[in-house]
Amino acid sequence: MSETTGRDEQSAAAAYWATGLVRIKPGEIALRGYPIEELIGRFSFVDIAWLMVRGELPTVPESRLLEAALTAAVDHGPQAPSIAAARMAATCGVGLNNAMATGVNLLGDVHGGAGQQCMEVLDDVLARVRAGEDLATAVGEVLAEHRYVPGFGHRFHPRDPRRDPLLGLVEQARDDGVVAGDHLAAAVEIERQLARKSSKPIPMNIDGATAVIYGELGFTPELARGLFVLSRSVGILAHAWEERQSGTRIKGPVPRPVLADYTGPDLREPPR
């Protein structure tokens, strides 16, 4: 092999996983160009998460708003399928990483996707506003196209206790000029029109409130789902670890004396 050919092959190999995220050299780690030793102790985990997915460090107000959204979505109890699955896995002799992966892998379109879906609805409303429609008309048109609006209403809470503090932070950030407030205005108008059409209020839930925050901070809907997964992973970890400490083995989806209802044929003889 010639020296030139060797260099070409080495260059091709180096380009195979080329990345703008991190530079690694002997004795050096740099995230998005920032030496890791200059980040440690000066910036929070939330700051670094923003840096890695957005390319630059957030301002202090942006970081606080993102942290609030991540904090609010950490956990919602063992009745959540992702949490229950992680707890069951933890009793089956698998490692903590396997239990966490079991829970995270349940976060899909139905369980875990409402925040992304709500952002897409809000973006649809705002696209119509940018095209010249007034906000109320745009919301009315979008609602007419949706039988169910993700991010509004809750199975357990008449009013999600996370809604008001999160939206209060967005309002403050809007007033301080940190965010524009467009996603907030769209979500509040959706909430108003849903209440008008219903016999009872249908307030924003955690998915709607965090969708507002992620939208105001400029994240894409798909990244918003990733951020929700990052947040809920903390709850999944804590529940899996708690279950591991209990010493219980092979916990099923219902308490052991309970058997699932059988809906198949009565007992019968196989053909001879």
Domain residue ranges of the chain, discontinuous segments joined by +: 18-58, 60-253
pLDDT beyond 70 at 240 = yes
pLDDT beyond 80 at 179 = yes
Other residues' Cβ atoms within 10 Å of the Cβ of residue 91: 18
- Per-residue pLDDT reduced to its tens digit, 6-26: 678 888 888 999 999 999 999
Q: Give pLDDT, residue 142.
A: 97
Q: What is the pTM of this model?
A: 0.93
pLDDT beyond 60 at 94 = yes
C-alpha distances out from residue 243 to 78, 116, 156, 193, 229, Å: 11, 30, 24, 43, 20
pLDDT beyond 60 at 1 = no
C-alpha distances out from residue 141 to 79, 134, 190, Å: 35, 11, 11
pLDDT beyond 70 at 112 = yes
Angular region, 230: left φ>0, alpha ψ -120 to 50, beta rest: alpha
User: How far is it, in rounded angstroms, from Cα 154 to Cα 103?
Assistant: 21
Rounded average pLDDT over 81-85:
96
- Per-residue pLDDT reduced to its tens digit, 185-237: 999 999 999 999 888 889 999 999 999 999 999 999 999 999 999 999 999 99
Residues in the chain: 272
Tokens of 83: 């949490």
Q: Which CATH class is domain 60-253?
A: mainly alpha
Of the candidates 141, 148, 142, the one whose C-alpha atom is nearest the C-alpha of residue 122 is: 142
pLDDT grade for 118, boundaries at 50, 70 and 90: very high
User: How far is it, in rounded angstroms, from Cα 12 to Cα 6?
Assistant: 10
